[in-house]
Structure 1
């Protein structure tokens, strides 16, 4: 897909709207799942992803091609999802917000998988992990990215990724054991 990415990057820099449709087609579902894993709310994840697309459009000429296009758009999505999570957490402490807006029971991304009880438990537990472990685990196990790719996306060293994965797995295992007891 490297040649395809080169063509896509060129067209994106030319502000070709068809290229933006291709970007969404190629990466949209992955980026939405990532935003959802970070935020835990489907609607806010969609909003964060829309903000990411706007940022990509505005800043595509700053993309220096040192990393892959996927790495760059993933980093933008992570940043926007973290911003949305901060806003969500601020609202959580505002009683007026809760009296006006009922808490959202967001639809899951894939209904057939979410129906499985084990998946729900793991997903719920994963969502309760600190974000730095959650995003590393998601990128490694759900998106099947290599340590080096995750390091580029998260802008940390490979040893940092390995450490986050190990600590995240340990925390996840401990939390799941407590839930099963």
Structure 2
């Protein structure tokens, strides 16, 4: 029985207990763990890499690694922190491998082509999302990962530090540097009304967090399903 159908059987089971059940042979426990957290893990992967195929591959690789490494989980951090660390590391590995490739510059007419965020056309939202991902792609991978976790996913600095396995001060520094580079590129995405005082939607203050977009996977999209039958036969690259 798939975890999509029997998820209610795990309603009162903690993430840590699911991982323990997985290591003890429960065939559905890891799939349920993935089901609980895959949307957020997917969002982190996509925003960190800025490419759907790369993000899907990185997420698949990460979850295969987590599936195989579950027995080594020591419980020093939350299961979600452990999962995010594996996903972010997989993304950073991919980002570093492609760092030698020529960067794709942002279009010179980006400001003119972006529509006003107030419009609700799905195509408009998609274009805005792609513009934000393109801007994120101009940052060094470590700054990008810190901004995704803190500004876009809402993790506290201390939790982001645990996920990335660095000091909290390092996260703050990476975020500050990343915002300084990114905000000039995405300021217009936040402007949903007439200019106002500093820090208002029409005039964001320096150091303000970057905007977020709704890039959760949609039905029929390319999001991998590592909790399914392909997990056991998969392999890392």
SS of the equivalent of 2:76 reads coil
**TM-align CA RMSD:** 2.9
Map residues 83-94 of structure 1 onto 2, 5 A cutoff: 83-89=93-99
TM-score, scaled relative to structure 1: 0.76
1:54 equivalent in structure 2: 64
Gaps of 5+ in 1: 94-110
Gaps of 5+ in 2: 1-10, 104-120, 189-237
Distance 1:6 1:133 in 2: 30
Matched, 1:136 2:152: no
1:173 equivalent in structure 2: 183
CA distances 1:53-110 after superposition (whole Å, capped 9, x unpaired): 11111111111100010111111111212222344456769xxxxxxxxxxxxxxxxx
Structure 1 window deviating more from structure 2 (47-56 vs 3-12): it is 3-12
Structure 1 window deviating more from structure 2 (62-71 vs 137-146): it is 137-146
Higher fraction of helix: 1
Query: Structure 1's 147 and 125: CA in aligned 2 closer, same or farther, altered over 3 A?
Result: same
Alpha-carbon offset, residue 137 of structure 1: 0.9
CA distances 1:102-142 after superposition (whole Å, capped 9, x unpaired): xxxxxxxxx94862655443332122111111111111122
SS of the equivalent of 2:75 reads coil
Which is greater in Rg? 2
Distance 1:28 1:117 in 2: 24
Query: Structure 1's 114 and 37: CA in aligned 2 closer, same or farther, altered over 3 A?
Result: farther
1:97 equivalent in structure 2: none
Distance 1:71 1:55 in 2: 15
Matched, 1:72 2:95: no
Distance 2:128 2:58 in 1: 28
Distance 2:15 2:134 in 1: 35
Matched, 1:43 2:28: no
Alpha-carbon offset, residue 145 of structure 1: 0.7
Distance 1:125 1:75 in 2: 23
TM-score, scaled relative to structure 2: 0.60
1:30 equivalent in structure 2: 40
1:149 equivalent in structure 2: 159
Matched, 1:163 2:184: no
